[in-house]
C-alpha cells in the first residue's frame, strides 16, 4: 500500500482544509475566479466560499480582484509558498541522501562521486552532527557519517554502524578557557578533562576551524582537519587517548546504501595507525 503524506495548515481559528488551499492555488495559477473554478470542476460560488473560509481561518485577505482579474495578495502568496515548501519536504525521492560534517566531508564527497560515476544520483548534506541526526529522526536521510564517537555509541541500537576510518584529537593548552569547534569529537575531549579532574570553561563555540589559529584560548581539533590543511593548529599536541572510530550509520533500507558504505570505507577518513 502506498502511503502519501498530506500537509495541513492550522491557525488559531482552525484548520485550513486541503480543498481551500487547492482553491487558492487555482486562483494563483488561473488569474480569475471563474477559470479557477472551472479548473477544479466546481462552480464559482463554491470556489468563492472556499476562499472566504480560508480568509476566516487566517484573519487576512488572501485574494484581490480588479478589472484585470483575481490574484493572491502578498499574504496569500506567502501562505502557498510555505505550503509548497512543506509539501516538498514530505516527498520521497529515489536518490540516496547522505549526510556528514566538515570532518567527514572529503570522505563523503569522494563516495558520492564514486556513486555518480556509476550513474547513481546522490544528494549530500554537510552540516553538524546535531542537524544530521535531526534529518535521520525525520527519515529524510539514508546514511549519516558521525564525528562524535559518543553519539555513535548512544545510537548503536537505533541504526547499524560501519567503521569507515579513525581519527584523533589534538589539544592546544592555553589556560582553562576553551573555545569549542562545532565539528569533531569535542565531547570526547571535554569528557577526558572531566575524568582527569582538569578545570576548564567553554567560553564560546565557532563553526570555522581556521579561526582556531587566531585564538588565544585552549581548544580541541580533529587531526584530519589539520592534515587537510584547513588549519595549522600550531602548539596543539596529539592526544593518544583520543583515537576513535568514524562511524557511518545506515538510516534506511535504500538500495544504494550498501554501495555508498563500501565507497565511504574505501575513501575513509584516515586509516588506523
Instruction: Answer yes or no: do 102 and 69 share one domain.
Output: no
Residue 5 has a pLDDT of 66
Residue 67 has a pLDDT of 80
Instruction: Answer yes or no: do 59 and 79 share one domain.
Output: yes
Structural domain includes residue 80: yes
Residue 91 has a pLDDT of 61
Q: Are 219 and 185 in contact (CB under 8 A)?
A: no
Give the confidence band of 273 by pLDDT, cuts at 50, 70, 90. Answer: very low
pLDDT of residue 188 exceeding 90, the answer is yes
Q: Which of 16-25, 103-112, 158-167, 207-216 has the lowest mean pLDDT?
A: 158-167
Residue 201 has a pLDDT of 97
Please give the Cα distance from 24 to 80 (Å, whole number): 8
- Mean of all residue pLDDT scores within the chain: 89
Q: Are 169 and 188 in contact (CB under 8 A)?
A: yes
Residue 92 has a pLDDT of 60
Please give the Cα distance from 111 to 264 (Å, whole number): 5
Instruction: Answer yes or no: do 250 and 162 share one domain.
Output: yes
Report pLDDT digits (tens) over 6-62: 777 888 888 888 899 899 999 999 998 999 999 999 999 999 999 999 999 989 999
Taking the CB of residue 146, how many other CB atoms lie within 10 A of it? Answer: 28
Instruction: Answer yes or no: do 77 and 16 share one domain.
Output: yes
Instruction: Answer yes or no: do 157 and 255 share one domain.
Output: yes
Q: Are 98 and 122 in contact (CB under 8 A)?
A: yes
Instruction: Answer yes or no: do 119 and 254 share one domain.
Output: yes
- Residue 143 structural domain: 96-167+244-267
Closest to 212 measured CA to CA, from 78, 102, 89: 102
Give me the CATH number covering residue 123. Answer: 3.40.190.10
Give the confidence band of 1 by pLDDT, cuts at 50, 70, 90. Answer: low
Instruction: Answer yes or no: do 249 and 162 share one domain.
Output: yes
Report pLDDT digits (tens) over 144-186: 999 898 888 888 777 778 898 899 999 999 999 999 999 999 9
Residue 259 has a pLDDT of 92
Average pLDDT over residues 123-130: 94
Structural domain includes residue 2: no
Structural domain includes residue 150: yes
Last residue of a domain, one of 90, 117, 140: 90
Give me the CATH number covering residue 28. Answer: 1.10.10.10
Taking the CB of residue 53, how many other CB atoms lie within 10 A of it? Answer: 16
Structural domain includes residue 109: yes
Residue 272 has a pLDDT of 44
Amino acid at each position: 500500500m502506498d502511503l502519501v503524506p498530506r500537509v495541513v495548515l492550522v491557525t488559531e481559528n482552525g484548520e485550513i482544509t486541503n480543498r481551500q488551499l487547492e482553491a487558492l492555488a487555482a486562483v494563483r495559477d488561473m488569474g480569475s475566479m471563474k477559470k479557477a473554478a472551472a479548473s477544479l470542476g466546481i462552480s464559482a460560488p463554491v470556489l468563492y466560499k472556499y476562499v472566504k473560509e480560508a480568509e476566516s481561518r487566517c484573519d487576512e485577505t488572501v485574494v484581490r480582484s480588479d478589472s484585470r482579474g483575481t490574484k493572491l495578495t502578498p499574504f496569500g502568496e506567502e501562505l502557498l509558498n510555505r505550503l509548497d515548501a512543506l509539501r516538498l519536504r514530505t516527498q520521497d525521492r529515489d536518490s540516496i541522501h547522505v549526510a556528514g560534517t566538515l570532518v567527514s566531508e572529503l570522505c563523503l564527497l569522494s563516495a558520492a562521486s564514486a556513486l555518480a560515476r556509476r550513474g547513481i544520483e546522490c544528494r549530500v548534506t554537510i552540516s553538524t552532527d546535531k542537524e544530521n541526526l535531526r534529518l535521520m529522526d525525520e527519515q529524510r536521510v539514508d546514511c549519516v557519517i558521525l564525528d562524535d564517537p559518543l553519539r555513535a555509541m548512544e545510537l548503536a541500537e537505533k541504526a547499524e554502524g560501519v567503521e569507515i576510518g579513525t581519527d584523533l584529537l589534538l589539544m592546544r593548552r592555553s589556560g582553562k578557557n576553551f573555545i569549542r569547534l562545532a565539528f569533531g569529537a569535542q565531547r570526547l575531549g571535554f569528557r577526558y578533562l572531566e575524568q582527569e579532574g582538569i578545570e576548564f570553561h567553554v567560553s564560546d563555540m565557532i563553526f570555522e576551524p581556521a579561526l582556531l589559529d587566531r585564538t588565544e584560548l585552549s581548544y580541541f581539533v580533529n587531526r584530519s582537519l589539520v592534515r587537510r590543511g584547513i588549519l595549522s593548529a600550531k602548539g596543539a599536541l596529539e592526544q593518544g587517548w583520543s583515537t576513535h572510530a568514524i562511524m557511518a550509520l545506515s538510516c534506511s533500507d535504500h538500495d544504494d546504501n550498501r554501495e555508498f558504505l563500501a565507497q565511504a570505507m574505501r575513501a575513509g577518513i584516515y586509516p588506523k595507525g
